[in-house]
Amino acid sequence: MAADTGQGLWDFALRLYGAPGVGEACLLLQDESGVDVPVLLFSAWLAKNSVTLSPTEIARIDGLVAGWRNEVIEPLRAVRRRLKSGPHPAPTKETETLRNGVKGVELGSERIELVVLEAEGQALMAADALTGDAAGNLRNVVMFFRGAEPDERTATALAVIENALAAL
């Protein structure tokens, strides 16, 4: 059976994302390669629990959360980002308060996605999947969303996440 780290996906995601440089690396992968950060963090959690994700599994898992991401998370993110500099009357103190509220709702929606992913991960762990390969999982996720091999900036961002994951 896979080695359970005893840490739920949400807590793991917060620890990994909060590690030096990881948040920035995740945002670069999101913005430049279209990576779904919760799916990326999920793949790292699985690797830490000795589960390797195949490209087929990544596609299946993405299918479970793509609608939620596309219809809930991404529109919230777009509103939050837009409020940073406009439209009029933004940015003001009042619109910054609104923006922070939207940010909280966006984070809550990502947490819901992680709950769905954690349930899938528990099933994969129970199935006694292959030996975990963090670099392979992360790379496969990036290639799935990017549709191509990582470029230099993407590879550098992946290395930051891999190093932080190894230190957890």
- DSSP symbols for 97-148: HHHHHHHHHHHHHHHHHHHHHHHHHHHHHHTT-SPP-HHHHHHHHHHHHHSS
Quote the CA–CA distance of 153 and 137 in Å, as a whole number.
18
pLDDT value, residue 135: 77
Specify the pLDDT at position 1.
Answer: 36
Q: What pLDDT is recorded for position 2?
A: 40
Q: HSE on the CB side for 60, CA within 13 Å?
A: 8
* pLDDT averaged per 10 residues, the chain (length 168): 63 98 98 97 93 92 98 97 93 95 97 97 78 81 94 96 95
Q: Give me the pLDDT at residue 43, please.
A: 96
> Is the overall model pTM greater than 0.95, yes or no?
no
Q: According to the model, what pLDDT value does residue 132 have?
A: 65
pLDDT attached to residue 3: 43
> What pLDDT was estimated at residue 131?
65
Element holding 86 (H helix, E strand): none
